[in-house]
């Protein structure tokens, strides 16, 4: 654990040696998703993520991480609608979100995303998480947000996002601060899947 913690300290403008090891672990393809069921994983999921630099975005490591995160969130055995880099062991401010508010519902990547405004009303909705296996619950989320982020060309954007897609962004941005959807629930609010 000490080596892993030390390896996460940022040095310079690029990915750390620890992060590069995680990105390249097992070659390519689907990455291991950290789970709260594992004590070491749980500690890492609760840590705040670090900013991404333009140099990191232009690196081979980012390209591989991006591809592997996409394969992981689209894994037919455990599909999701969003994923954050900390969920695969890279404590960086990178998220991928399926844009249900756009034609074709594409997955897009967002670098150093920040929710800068919460607007309108909140609504309850069911949530689950790849890092919180087999637990679900109702979370009250804002239905309209203003998001500031950099795209993959390092261009700065501010965007208004509504509905279910806004909920996904709130869930994924929470991961970057070490928060999980279960933090919003009481013990009575958690649900386990019904056995068939």
Residue 19 among the catalytic residues: no
For residue 1, give every residue at least 6 positions away whose Cβ sits within 8 Å of its Cβ, in sequence order, or none.
40, 43
Which residue is catalytic, options 105, 172, 188, 191? 172
Helix 60-73 and helix 17-24: axis angle, to 10°? Answer: 50
Which residue is it, tokens 């800068």? 116
For residue 186, give every residue at least 6 positions away whose Cβ sits within 8 Å of its Cβ, in sequence order, or none.
none
Query: 187: exposed, middle or buried (C-beta count within 10 Å: 0-12, 13-18, 19+)?
Result: exposed
Q: What residues act catalytically?
A: 172
């Amino acid at each position: 654990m000490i080596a892993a913690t030390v390896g996460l300290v940022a040095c310079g403008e690029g990915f750390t040696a620890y992060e590069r090891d995680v990105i390249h672990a097992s070659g390519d393809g689907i990455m291991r998703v950290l789970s709260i069921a594992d004590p070491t994983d749980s500690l890492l999921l609760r840590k705040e993520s670090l900013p991404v630099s333009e140099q990191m975005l232009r690196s081979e490591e980012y390209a591989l991480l991006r591809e592997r995160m996409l394969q992981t969130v689209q894994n037919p055995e455990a599909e999701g609608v969003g994923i954050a880099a900390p969920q695969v062991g890279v404590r960086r401010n990178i998220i991928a979100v399926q844009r249900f508010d756009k034609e074709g519902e594409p997955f897009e990547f967002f670098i150093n995303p920040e929710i800068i405004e919460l607007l309108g009303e909140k609504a309850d909705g069911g949530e689950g998480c790849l890092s919180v296996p087999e637990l679900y619950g109702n979370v009250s989320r804002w239905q309209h947000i203003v998001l500031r982020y950099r795209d993959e060309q390092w261009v700065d954007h501010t965007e208004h996002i509504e509905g279910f897609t806004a909920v996904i962004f709130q869930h994924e941005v929470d991961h970057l601060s070490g928060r999980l959807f279960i933090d919003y629930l009481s013990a009575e609010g958690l649900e386990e899947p019904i056995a068939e």
